[in-house]
Amino acid sequence: MTSRIDTTVILGLGLIGGSLARSLRSSGFSSRVLGFGHREASLARGVELGVIDGYSLDLEDALAGADLVVIATPTLVAAQMLERILPVLKRRATMPVVTDVASVKGNLQRAAVAVWGSMPPRLVLGHPIAGSERSGVDASRADLFVNHRVILTPEPENETGAVSLVRDMWRSTGADVVDMPVREHDAVLAATSHLPHILAYALVDALAQSPVSDDIFRFAAGGFRDFTRIASSDPVMWRDIAIANRGALLEAIDQFEHHLGVLREAVANEDAGVMLETFTRAKQARDEFATMLQARSRAAK
């Protein structure tokens, strides 16, 4: 670890913000971690649990002594938060480094450029690919990010030192940090996460409205359980992600609809060749993915 800092301020103390706070305090990466939010009960609970050293309900007050600011609010709130804090921080002699944890990067980049005129040199956007079925500060864990990927999307305008600080912060949590352009990040997340959620929601909703929905759910087996697990995710969070990543998500949906249309025609025409080729290619890709995941999980042990 090459950086250590004095004061980190976490805006929004949920599962991700709380877990990052715990990790930064326990590793000593940050001498002090303060929280900001709207719900005092969560923040007070954070102090009680030893997640944060203190908190403020006033944004300017919370930002006053910050060396590093982490926006850890829900996706759409993160853009609003950025619009609120950038003008405040711009007035400082030395602006603290600012980063975030949201699932979409393009909307934050656009919000920042709209406020600042260009990408702020000390704003480094990031996305830890970690989570839990539980949420809230009570579910936070210092080891949430160990061996998880964190994607940073540094821009040419970014100060090298600011990028290094954010990278070091995530490395101190045990995460595996990689860089990626904003556009690619949003396309990859649309494909691997946002599109599958839309498909799972669409499927379960379609089946629930079927005249035989009782039997459908009565006779569904293990494959269906795994396939639809993500349809139990938080509807508000996924509505916000779909709005924030609208462009990349629409492209992913269109690409999927095209492939599904080709397979539908193959079924309609009993085109055994197209079906077998498609299923075989998909199985091969999925098997390679499973092998890679296993290797990664072995390496993590």
Q: Which of 136, 232, 295, 300 binds a second copy (CB under 8 A)?
A: 232
Sites for a second copy among residues 163-192 (CB under 8 A): 180, 184, 187-189, 191-192
Is residue 300 a contact point for a second copy (CB under 8 A)? Answer: no
Q: Please report, as a single letter, which amino acid is at residue 14.
A: G
User: Residue 90 or residue 264: which is nearer to a second copy going by CB?
Assistant: 264
CB contact set of 44 (below 8 Å; sequence gap of 6+): 55
- Using CB atoms within 10 Å of the CB of residue 53, give its burial: 0 to 12 exposed, 13 to 18 middle, 19+ buried: middle
**Applying CB under 8 A, does 233 fall inside the site for a second copy?**
yes
Beta bridge pairs of residue 97:
68
250 sits near a second copy (criterion: CB under 8 A): yes
- Nearest to 188, CA basis, from 199, 176, 196, 177: 196
Taking CB under 8 A as the rule, does residue 215 contact a second copy? Answer: yes
Do residues 245 and 104 lie in contact, with contact meaning Cβ atoms separated by under 8 Å?
A: yes
Separation of alpha carbons 215 and 221, rounded Å: 12
Query: Can residue 146 be called a binding residue for a second copy (CB under 8 A)?
Result: no
Among 285, 295, 298, 299, binds a second copy (CB under 8 A): 285
Does 111 bind a second copy (CB under 8 A)? Our answer is no
Is residue 96 within 8 A of residue 116, CB to CB? The reply is no
* Nearest CB to a second copy, comparing residues 43 and 187: 187
151 binds a second copy (CB under 8 A): yes
- Which has the closest alpha carbon to 8: 65, 93, 46? 65
Comparison of 114 and 208: residue with beta carbon closer to a second copy: 208
Report if residue 141 touches a second copy, rule: CB under 8 A: no
CB of 297 to a second copy, least distance (A): 10
Q: What is the DSSP letter of 143?
A: T
Q: Does 118 bind a second copy (CB under 8 A)?
A: no
